Each structure stands twice: as structure tokens, then as C-alpha cells.
Amino acid sequence: MTAVGNLTHEPVEGDRFTITSEGTGDTWEIVVGLEVHCELATATKLFCGCPNHFGAEPNTNVCPVCLGLPGSLPVLNQNVVELAMRLGRALHCTVEPSVFARKNYFYPDMPKDYQVSQYDQPINVDGWLDLPDGTRVGIERAHIEEDTGKNTHAGGSGRIHGADYSLVDYNRAGVPLVEIVGRPHIRHPEQAKAYIDELRAILLATGASDAKMEEGSLRVDANVSVRRVGDATLGTRCEIKNLNSLRSLGRAIEYEARRQVDLLESGERVHQETRHWDEAAGRTRPGRSKEEAEDYRYFQEPDLVPLEPSAEWVAAVDAALPVLPAERRARLAEAAGVDPTETAVVVAVQRDLDSLALAAIGAGGDGRRVLTHVEHNLAVEGAESLDPAHFAQLVTMEVAGQLTATQAKAVLTDMVATGKAPDAIAAERGFEAMDTSQLEGIIDGIIAESPQEWAEFCGGDDKRRGKLQGFFVGKVMKATKGQADGKAVNAVLEARRAAAG
């Protein structure tokens, strides 16, 4: 592969991540579709009664069914269907009559040497997920399938080739998964990360999964292609696997896009293939090549019957759905009179502080200020138990000039810790509202103490004045123990300078 040194990139045209070739001057955009496997948080496995539990001793959560012993038969866990539908409906999918199929291939971690999955008739189809930045990413399908066991290869490189021996743990075999296949609507590595973040929030909100990337209960594969900006057709994609963190996801997409642009710019073709992300080396490597491409010989699983959830069941799932992150952002943004894509709104929902913020705004608190506090000053334990009326009162005092921003932050911290009302805390801390004449007196005293600096402040150039402004404000803050309102100090200084001039 050639180096990527002749390429630059810059985020232009909004959130689109583009790569510009110095050689040709062509600008390329990234097209990404994500496939996410997540383990459903059921008590038992997909087709048997074994515990669905991470971290048990190897081969203890197994039975004839999940070991695929001869003669054993699968029985569908109804809770899997419930959780899969909950997720599907949260992703605005249609629940369709579905069937299970067998995906046939040999691998030691797969007890039956086929995986039971949904193929041409999945349970959830055609939905979407709205990213916090407003992008709508289509969801092609979200189908049910079984997980495999886990191989450990001893000796050699740690991979199956060249290992001295391999051990298989079938505890994970038969754990229920939902595979969520997103459409190629993502145009930026950061969007890919935001998609996973948002999906994780939905998985947690619906109780469908604990969605832990580090424990493997949420696994991400990225289909990456590139095309010249303006092209309507999609380029040839590569599927990137082994993405174990959001950081890996972002890095891998960026690396892979550059690799593909490099190939295309040098007149070569991108070969559709599976590639593995090597986190240490910071690059993708070819996995299974096209020549070895598997033919999975899908056919309908004859040991299971078609799955046709009743309209009543789907309606009950809908009725029980929690309010989802996108709707929570919209509600909060509307109440606060801001745009739902604002960071403060996104953060408020991520931290589960949106209901507090909504209640504070409802109690008369200024929306913008409420959000500012939530974003910057409430990343603390116990913030969610804050009394919304007290929060609103604090913001009102701040807007009225009774508290400075710095004071308000300090009071807020005490409110979270003690549960007391803001006026009581302000009184305890001696945060009296300083009237203008009192402030003027202090400033006049400081001016009198520093005639040299004052003269330079009044007569000097802008640069010098800027420096000295900091000098005077600092003195005032010191004299008032930080209780003076910075804006008011600046106003008095300006008035005095105008009078002196």
C-alpha cells in the first residue's frame, strides 16, 4: 500500500468528512453503514433454559440444546421476541412475520456448525435512528440470531492458524443477539461514534441490552466506502471488524477511507472484502479474501415455526416503550427555546438530567441558564435529585443579578450536597448582592491606589488597555472575594475612563 502523505483532509460542508487529494485536487467523501450485534438482556438463552450470564466458569451454562447435541431441538424464548420488538419499535421499524434460517459454515465455536439467524424475513424492518446532530440514519433491519461460543487459541500468534491447541467455551453459544443493520447514511467518523452512542442509549432505555462494548455485548462492524463528492453511486465497500471501542471505530473508518482513496487515486480498485482493525498498528488488514468467500447455503430452519407476533402484542410493546433520547432532546429543546442539536441539550439527555432541567424550566427558570448549568456544573453525583424549584430559584436570582455566575456555581454545588434552598446558601456564604455604589467605592479606592496603571489604562493603546483591564478586574475580585459581577466591574471601569478622558 502506498503512503497517505499526499492527502489532506478537513471537515468542510458541515458534518461531512472529506479527503482532498493534493495530487488531483479531487475531494472524496466517506460513506459508512454500521452493523451492530448486541446481546439481549434476557435471563435465559435464545433456544434453551441456560442462564444468559457473562463471566461464568467455561462450559457451565450449557445443555444439550445449546451444545447442539444430536437429537436436541430449539424452542424460541418469548422474552427474546419481546426485547427484539421493543428495540425494533424504538428504532421506528415495522414488525413483520419472520422466519428463522440456518447459516451453514464450519467453525469450532459453533456447536451445530450452523448459526440460526433470520435471513430473508427478519422481524424488524425499515426504521430509522436520529442522531443528536439531526442526521437521520436509516435502519434496514434488526433481526434475531444466536451467538457463538468463544475460542481461545494457545501458542502461536493467538489466532487459530499456528496455535498449539484451542479451547472452546460454549457459555456464549445460543445467547440471543439482535443484529441492527444500518443504511449507509453516515458521512463522518464522529457521526459513526454518535450513532453507536445513540443506539446504546436506546438499548439501555428499552432494557433490550446492557450494551457493553468492552464485554462484547455490543459489537460493531463498519462498512466503509468512498466516492468523489457529488457522485451518486456508492463505491465498493470493505467490512471492518474487530472494532472494540468507539475510538477504534473512528480511527478505523478514517484509516480505511484514506486507504481506499489512495487505491482509487492511483488507478487501482477497491476489492470488496472483510478487513480487521489492528488497534496497535493503527491500520486495517485483509481478513477472509474473496477466493475463500463462504457460501452460507441459507435455508429455512425446519426445527422452528414461523414467528408471527399478534397486533395486540406489538401494540402492547408500543404502549410500554419509554420516552427515547431523540424525543427527550426535542422536548427539552422546545422548553428551553433552543435547537435540539445544541450540545447542552445532548449532554442533558445523556446525563439523564433532562427531566430535572424540564422541571426547573417549568418552575420558571431561564432555559438557557438552566442548560448552561446542566452542561457545565452538574456532572456530579446526586445532581439528578436536585429540587427543580430550588434550581429555578437559583437561576432566577442569577438573572436578576443577585448572584454572579461564579457565585451561582458555588451555590449550586452546595445545593446538590445539602439539599438547601439557594437563598439560604447564598446568605450563609455571605453572597450578598453588591449594589452599584458599594462597587464604585471599591473601584475608586483601587484606582486611587494605582495612579500609574490608571493613567496608562486611560491613555494607552488597546493592547495595553486590555492588559490593564485584567489587572483592575483582578484587584476588584480580590477585594470582593470574587463576589463582584465581572460585567458590572467592566462597566464601572469604562464609565470612569470616559469621565477621566
Partner 1 sequence: MTLPTTATAIAAAVRAGEVSAREVVDAHLAAIEAGDASINAFNLVLADEARAAAAAVDAKVAAGEDPGPLAGVPVALKDNLCTRGVPTTCSSRILDGWRPPYDATVVERLAGAGAVAVGKTNLDEFAMGSSTENSAFGPTRNPRDPERVPGGSSGGSAAAVAAGFAPVSLGSDTGGSIRQPAALCGVIGVKPTYGLVSRYGLVAFASSLDQIGPFSTTVADSALLLEAVAGHDPLDSTSIDAPAPSLVDVLDRGVDGLRVGLVSELMGEGIAPDVAGRVRQAADALAAAGAEIGEVSVPAASYGLSAYYLIAPAEASSNLARYDGVRYGLRVDAPTTAEMNAATRTAGFGAEVKRRIMLGTYALSAGYYDAYYGKALKVRTLIVRDFEAAYERFDLLLSPTSPTTAFRFGEKVDDPLAMYLNDVCTIPTNLAGHPAMSVPFGAGADGMPVGVQLLAPALGEATMFRAAAALEAAAPPLEEAWS
Contact residues for partner 1 (CB under 8 A)? 64, 67-76, 102, 104, 106, 108, 111-114, 160-161, 166, 168, 295, 297-299, 302-305
Strand partners, 285: 276
State the pairing for strand pair 299-300/101-104.
Answer: antiparallel
Task: Tell me the closest approach of the beta carbon of residue 82 to partner 1, in angstroms.
Answer: 17
Identify which of residues 38 and 81 has a Cβ nearer to partner 1 in the complex.
Answer: 81
- Nearest Cα residue to 191 out of 128, 253, 140, 242: 253
Q: What is the CA radius of gyration of the chain?
A: 30
Nearer to partner 1, 97 or 474 (CB): 97
Shortest spacing between CB 183 and partner 1, in angstroms? 24
Nine cell digits for residue 215: 464485554
Element (DSSP H or E) covering residue 127? strand 124-130
> Shortest approach of partner 1 to residue 359 CB, angstroms?
49
Of the pair 108, 364, the CB lying nearest partner 1 is at 108
Report the candidate in 215, 275, 278 with the shortest Cα–Cα distance to residue 251. Answer: 278
Q: Smallest distance, Å, CB 237 to partner 1?
A: 19
Smaller CB separation from partner 1, 45 or 187: 45
Our CB check for partner 1 shows the closer of 210 and 273 to be 273
**Burial state string for 325-350 with b = 16 or more CB within 10 A and e = fewer than 16:** bbebbebbbebbeeebebebbbbbbb
CB of 106 to partner 1, least distance (A): 6
Cell of 318: 408500543
116 DSSP β-pair partners = 102
Pairing of strands 273-278, 238-243: parallel
Closest approach, Cβ 316 to partner 1, in A, equals 22
d(CA 372, CA 378): 9
**CA–CA dist 429, 403 (Å, integer):** 11
CA 346 – CA 132 distance, rounded (Å): 6
Of 55 and 70, which CB lies nearer to partner 1 in the complex structure? 70
CB of 68 to partner 1, least distance (A): 5
Q: Give 59 or 377: the residue with its C-beta nearer to partner 1.
A: 59
* Gap between the Cα atoms of 220 and 264, Å rounded: 26
